[in-house]
Homo-oligomer: A and B are copies of this chain.
């Protein structure tokens, strides 16, 4: 049972996600587990994990909770650039001391830990490769988000977005069948998808009416992900080693 494991080991999501990217050595796993156990700290809702314009701290791994990378315009308009999920790494492959290009906000209480430092790894470690691959996956999702905002309708944006989150939650071992927790308000969805919360509401209703998703109590179920993926021409991240299953 993956979910039970996630409870026992705080770094479980990170381990799952990274081993879907590269083959981790046993040493790597220990390093991650140790870092997860010894350097973890909590970030309360609404707190900023990283603040735009300030020097970034050490690279972090996300053990639990949801965050969002955001930009806020001077008149209050807000854009969510990406969501930060358990298993994700942030700030790896950045030069130390560089200024953050955007703010990362905790949407739910989060637990984070410091990612093992790249300079102090054994020679046979595959973590450097994992870090590089992890950031190319992040870049892929940024590109997908651009395409969503630029060329998809509201209906397609929602569907495509839910597919992506489902994929990412699955990588972190946080799905059961095609269902996962998604503790986002419709206003958050709106800020991510470039719409208003009113329109998000109507669009989600349309998706439910069409029977492609159901949602209740912060839990989303995709009824037929592959059919939906085909419908909205959804692309999955390349460079992920598909599980045998």
Binding site for B on A (CB under 8 A): 53, 69, 71, 73-75, 77-79, 81, 93-95, 98-102, 129, 132-133, 135-136, 139-140, 142-147, 149-151, 191-194, 233, 235, 237-239
Docked complex Cα distance between A102 and B132 (Å): 17
B147 A101 Cβ-Cβ under 8 A: no
Out of B132, B192, B194, name the residue touching A93 (CB < 8 Å): B132
Contacts of A149 in B (CB 8 A): 146, 149-150, 194
B147 and A71 within 8 A (CB): yes
* A79 adjacent to B146 (CB under 8 Å): yes
Asked if B193 and A150 make an inter-chain contact with CB atoms under 8 angstroms apart, the answer reads: yes
Contacts beyond the supplied A75-B233, A101-B143, A149-B150: 6 A-B pairs with Cβ under 8 Å: A77-B151, A79-B146, A81-B147, A95-B133, A101-B237, A145-B146
| CB atoms of A233 and B74 under 8 A apart | yes
User: Closest 3 A-B residue pairs measured CB to CB?
Assistant: A150-B194, A149-B149, A99-B238
Nearest opposing residue in chain B for A141, CB measure:
B101
CA distance A102 to B69 in the complex (A): 22
Q: Is the CB of A136 within 8 A of B95?
A: yes
Closest to A194 in B: B150
Question: A191 to chain B: which residues have CB within 8 Å?
Answer: 150
Of B53, B129, B151, B194, the residue contacting A79 (CB under 8 A) is B151
Is there an interface contact between B238 and A53, defined as CB atoms closer than 8 Å? yes
Give the docked Cα–Cα distance between A233 and B73 (Å).
7
Whether the Cβ atoms of A101 and B71 lie closer than 8 Å is: no
- 8 inter-chain pairs at a CB distance below 8 angstroms, sorted by A residue, are A75-B233, A94-B132, A95-B132, A95-B136, A101-B139, A146-B149, A150-B193, A151-B194
